[in-house]
């Protein structure tokens, strides 16, 4: 709320470009955060932002951005522009989605925090990769396989080698011809 009034302004459009539809585990992506606003660009200051993510790591690309308290924001050099390049490195483990959220402000550069300055908030999501099964993360599949193998072993051991139906009599199995 340091620029303009306390209300978000939908005329300030926020774009996060370069985010894949589905991100890959541990991969790095060059993203561009861009703000489009009806506020004219005059003076030394033009815009600023704060960006955070629920998972993965944000990194600056150049001197226009910096990390403060785990969140990416503009520097003094970076407040003279309305587009910033950043790097996001996806987490090393699968996750159903990642959320990016934050704020942008656009100012007219006159040095006064007034109603001519506008800001907006945003939240953007990207889907995570389908989880890759490693044998450690899916015990239900293991259980199904073991039960299936046990059932197969029981069927093979009960049915006689010669064929026919098996009947159990006093702990011994006999086939339909009376053989043990």
Structure tokens at 125: 């999501």
Mean pLDDT along residues 136-162? 59
Instruction: Give pLDDT, residue 110.
Output: 80
* Euclidean distance between CA atoms 97 and 158, whole angstroms: 50
**Residue 163: which region, alpha, beta or left (left: phi > 0; alpha: psi -120 to 50)?**
left
Mean pLDDT along residues 112-140? 74
Instruction: Give pLDDT, residue 116.
Output: 80
- Reported pTM: 0.68
**Residue 72: which region, alpha, beta or left (left: phi > 0; alpha: psi -120 to 50)?**
beta
pLDDT digits (tens, 9 = 90+) for 73-98: 999 999 999 999 999 999 998 888 89
């Amino acid at each position: 709320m340091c620029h303009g009034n306390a209300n978000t302004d939908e005329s300030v459009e926020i774009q996060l470009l370069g985010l894949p539809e589905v991100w890959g585990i541990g991969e790095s992506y060059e993203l561009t955060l861009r703000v489009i606003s009806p506020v004219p660009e005059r003076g030394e200051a033009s815009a600023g932002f704060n960006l955070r993510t629920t998972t993965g790591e944000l990194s600056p690309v150049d001197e226009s951005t910096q990390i403060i308290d785990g969140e990416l924001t503009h520097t003094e050099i970076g407040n003279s522009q309305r587009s910033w390049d950043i790097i996001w490195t996806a987490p090393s483990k699968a996750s159903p989605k990642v959320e990016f959220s934050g704020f942008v402000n656009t100012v007219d550069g006159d040095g006064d925090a007034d109603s001519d300055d506008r800001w907006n908030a945003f939240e953007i999501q990207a889907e995570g990769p389908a989880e890759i099964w490693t044998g450690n993360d899916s015990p239900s599949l293991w259980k199904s396989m073991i039960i299936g193998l046990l059932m197969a072993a029981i069927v093979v051991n009960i049915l006689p080698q010669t064929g026919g139906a098996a009947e159990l009599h006093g702990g011994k199995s006999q086939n339909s011809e009376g053989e043990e």
